[in-house]
Amino acid sequence: MNPPRIILLILCFAFLISPKSSASAGKIYKWVDERGVIHFSDEEPGTEKAKGDVEEREYKDPDSVKQSKDTIIKETVRNPIEYVTNCTFTIKSPKRIGSGFLISSDGYALTCKHVVEGLANLTALMNDQQEAQLNVLFTSAKYDLALVQVMAVRKMPYLTIRDAAGLAPGDRLFAVGASAGLQSTVTDGVFTGFRTTEAAKGELIQFSAPVNPGNSGGPLVDEKSQVVGVVSLKFLSQQGMPVSGVGFAVPSAQIKEEYSTYTGK
């Protein structure tokens, strides 16, 4: 008997936006040492430190971006999930949408690799409706993750990341993102468990909060606004029947593995 056919929907991809100029502040380097530990630095490593090739990227200094009072994101919120919406942005184009979220006050952010890979001149639409240039710094070779930088104000609200391994079935979770093109949409559900799928490497978080095209790259958070994962994909149908309430997120352990230097800010 053949196993049931499962169709996976990758929620969103990315898009081309007209380029915006900003001053370059320098370069950032990524390399792996002999123990397999990933490093990031603004100084190029010596040959004795790096095992294999050293990746090099230009980065921009957020301090070089002109500020105004209108672009400052207000951090006074009424509940933890409202704070999450202030830290989440839409990655937009005329045809497609995606999401991302801030992990440091100087604009470093996370999204899904399939949202931004291979594209340039991307724009982030913040929750206050201000637009900012979005630079792709690194895409993960192992997971559906990408590290990006939002060129906006000097100090920005950002999310902290917790260990998803502590989740128990039934724990309440929230998915925030541009669901179906509606910015900062919040949906809630519960944690189901960790699953391995053919569409992804490693385990993924399964959760029941409804997600739609546009959610990819947005945060999956607990009731205290702490990130447990990055929304990545969902089941669309099984044996021709629609499936709802079965979403998946890249867990925080994989975020820490790839970008621990930035998640501590």
Task: Please give the positions annotated as active site.
Answer: 114, 144, 216
At 200, phi and psi to the nearest 5? -145, 155
Cα dihedral 192, 112, 198, 233 in deg (nearest 10): 50
Contact 146, 115 (CB under 8 A): yes
Task: Indicate if the alpha-carbon torsion angle 66, 161, 215, 85 is positive or negative.
Answer: negative
Q: What HEC string does 95-158 produce?
A: CCEEEEEECCCCCEEEECHHHHCCCCCEEEECCCCCEEEEEEEEECCCCCCEEEEEECCCCCCC
Overall size of the chain counted in residues: 265
- Cβ-Cβ contacts under 8 Å for 78 (sequence gap 6 or more): none
Q: What is the helix (H) or strand (E) element at residue 184, kind and residue range?
A: strand 182-196
